[in-house]
Amino acid sequence: MPDDERTPSPEEMLRVIEEQQVATTKYLYGNQLLLYVPWGVAWLLGFTAYFLHYGLDGRPYAPISATQALAVLMIAQLVAGALVAYGIGRMNRAVRGGSKAQGTMYGYAWFAGMTLVVIIATRLSPLLPPHETGLVWAGASLTIVAVMYMAGGAVWLNWRMFFIGVWVAAVNGLGVLLGAGWHALLTAVLLGGGFIAAGIWLRWRA
């Protein structure tokens, strides 16, 4: 009997089923590297620049202005947002019905939350010292990130996503209490580095 006509063994059939499950999971849930690592890199670069600007004792560690640190963070986040949007777009191609509507509303909630942060921070910034201004922008933005991750975990019953939101909230809250320099350092290391590690681990696990 030719090889292409023989009946596959149970082991071969099981291997094919497992391969198809892995391929389907990657297609539906996307590339975890694209969903986590871009944000991690953006925060690592941007908040490291802020940390070097602030220092821990009120004295800068490098000749980086607040404007330059903000530019690094904003450019990095724009690139990260584009990569994540691409990853989410690939995921949504396979989704229909109520789940797609949930994802659409969730995306609009992200946009609304970040827009509100810009409005509030822009209004309050002229009333605050420079260090506090940066802290308002960073703390408010990460608050939206934390809440949206926890809300997403609740909507899709995804405990992993929910606990990532809890982690962001804890690091952000501690950093705000400690001050601008510590907030930048903790965010760069624990959130920037943490998201990179999470993306790599989740991709390997998939």
- Tens digit of each residue's pLDDT (9 = 90 or more) over 117-146: 889 988 998 899 877 888 888 899 899 889
Contact (Cβ atoms closer than 8 angstroms) between residue 18 and residue 53: no
- Tens digit of each residue's pLDDT (9 = 90 or more) over 163-198: 999 999 999 999 999 999 999 999 999 999 999 998
* Residue 22 scores a pLDDT above 70: no
- Please count the other Cβ atoms lying within 10 Å of the Cβ belonging to residue 135: 21
- Tens digit of each residue's pLDDT (9 = 90 or more) over 177-186: 999 999 999 9
How many angstroms separate the CA atoms of 144 and 136, rounded? 12
Contact (Cβ atoms closer than 8 angstroms) between residue 146 and residue 168: yes
- Residue 28: the pLDDT is 43
22: helix, strand or coil: helix
How many angstroms separate the CA atoms of 154 and 150, rounded? 6
Find the mean pLDDT for residues 27-44: 76
Contact (Cβ atoms closer than 8 angstroms) between residue 124 and residue 143: no
